[in-house]
Structure 1
Amino acid sequence: MKSIMKFIAPKQIVRLWIVLLLSGLSMVTFSTLSNAAALGDATGGGIVFFVDKTGEHGLIAARQDLPGHSAGINYDGFFTWKDAKKGCENLELNGFSDWFLPNKEQLNQLFAARVLVGGFGGSDYWSSTENGSKAAWGQYFLSGVQYSGTKTHVDRVRAIRSF
């Protein structure tokens, strides 16, 4: 390094150092801004409802409940647990196909952000968390109470994806 500096005048070294420093700072700032996600952002095919402490990862909820219904059910939007899980895994929405049924904790986070996300029916929603072989956890979206219900019971479904 010493031999290279012999050929560069001191003023040129200072100018080069300043240019490199400023270039590096602007790249860091740009990179940070481009990856930031905030609660309520409409991105990634839905609405951001959870962001981790780093700000780089989080969860996105579909804007609407899963369409359709389980066979033999006359009410649109209601699924057995098995059909709810399969429906989320097969969902292709807004250019994304990596949707899934939220687990019990993620569903509770979604409940906490329900006003921010919007579009929820005043009913029960399934989680992917099982409670034995014949039951799974759900949550009442009027009260926030989580419960264990039989997998043949029908509830609403809101798909989520991670980023």
Structure 2
Amino acid sequence: MKRISNLIFIFFTLLLITTSCKEDEATILIGDAISPVIKYVSMPSQSSTIPGRNVYINGIGFSSEDSISCRSLEEEADFTAPVMSADNYGIKIFVPEIAGGEYEVSVTRNNLTTVLGEHLFVAFVFTIDNLSVPASAESGEDLVITGEGFMNGDQVLFESDYYPQGISYVAETDMATDGVSFTVPDGCYGMNNITLLRGKKTCNMGTINIPVNVGDQIGGGVVFYTSDNGVHGLIAAQENVVNEQVFGPSIQVDPYASGVSEDIFTGKNNTDILIDGIALWRAAGNSAEPTVAELCGQYSVEINGIIYNDWFLGSLNEMTELFNYRATLANAYEFVPAQNYWTSSVIPGSNWAWAYHYVNFWESETLITGAAPCDVWAIAARPIRQF
């Protein structure tokens, strides 16, 4: 009996020891669970984070088993980004088409989550597959752009570097068989960047050239010269900025007028040089009334609610083209009155800008140019702008 009791005691003792060992073993295997530790995180730029594409987040501590959750901070749709791969330097995720704006990013592993200190910024863009855009169109023309991925309500935005600041044009679209149709807005001209608008999101569709003709009234004035089949050109204001005024003081070419040219499409740069030059002249303690270049640069006109304020004094060759255009008009003097007109091109061959080229608009057909003493002759100036 005593032997049986001893056996029972030994059995329960072994059982207790075994259980204790298992509990200790389990504790060692599980350990203390902690959230993922991710260091040195660097997010991709917003411009490179495009919906529908993979992006790479730099950082140490990511795993291919991670779940990446993105919570919108701009009331856009939240999403869980599929993990494409992970390595010692970061993680590659897929950004879905619905994404856009700023996101708080969380990394979950083994049911524990770490919120990253850096935010992911997704570009508000989308793509159109197999996109085909006509190279050119006319203002008011009905146009079709083909591609896959258009939606009802899409709009087409027309923008140009030569439109006044803040001015753009928007066309409403209709769904077509292979894309969308719309009418090119009135007022568009020159080279236009076109963008598809869908709420906050955009799709860059490239450019469309909208040519114009000499004599067209657009862009705040009258087109008097074109190049590149009407895509670029020059526009004259419909009035003089002055009728009788000296150009300004006779000053040294270097540094006050260095770099001016006689060529087409240099009048804007000439005017900027001359405005900066007279500012330096005054800063050196000299006095000067507003110059003709400054008056042209300050000229502004509002037409149909649009303010055009990027005018300048034309170069010799630009003002020559204005004379050539005026010579073709039946009522030439109604457009540009008879007078001599300043240009922004200095007479070469002297260290002093004592004279600037002028163009004689007293003549109706014969072109006459010459040197006008800048602080003696009081003649006219007509602002122009370019596109």
Partner of 2:337: 121
Partner of 2:244: 78
CA contact (8 A) 1:101 1:159 kept: yes
The residue identity in structure 2 corresponding to 1:122 is: A
**What secondary structure does 2:379 align onto?**
coil
Partner of 1:16: none
Structure 2 CA distance for aligned equivalents of residues 159 and 36 of structure 1? 22
Q: CA deviation at 1:119?
A: 2.3
Q: Deviations over 1:46-76 (max 9, x none)?
A: 0000010332110000011114xxxxxxxxx
Which of the residues 351, 354, 357 maps onto 1:134? Answer: 354
Q: CA deviation at 1:145?
A: 0.3
Q: CA deviation at 1:90?
A: 0.7
Partner of 1:145: 368
Q: Deviations over 1:87-122 (max 9, x none)?
A: 100111121111000000000000001154742221
Q: Which region of structure 1 is more displaced relative to structure 2, 108-117 or 121-130?
A: 108-117
CA contact (8 A) 2:211 2:229 kept: no
Gaps of 5+ in 1: 1-19, 68-76
More helix by share: 1
Alignment of 1:60-75 (within 5 A): 60-67=235-242
Gaps of 5+ in 2: 1-128, 140-209, 249-290
TM-score, normalization by structure 2? 0.32
Q: CA deviation at 1:32?
A: 2.2
Partner of 2:226: 51
Partner of 1:162: 386
Partner of 1:13: none
Structure 2 CA distance for aligned equivalents of residues 119 and 41 of structure 1? 13
The residue identity in structure 2 corresponding to 1:54 is: N
**What secondary structure does 2:244 align onto?**
coil
Q: CA deviation at 1:142?
A: 2.4
CA contact (8 A) 2:341 2:379 kept: yes
TM-score, normalization by structure 1? 0.72
**What secondary structure does 2:245 align onto?**
coil
Structure possessing the higher radius of gyration over alpha carbons: 2
Partner of 2:73: none
CA contact (8 A) 1:65 1:119 kept: no
Runs of 4+ in 1 over 3 A off after TM superposition: 115-118
**What secondary structure does 1:113 align onto?**
helix
Partner of 1:109: 321
Partner of 2:134: 28
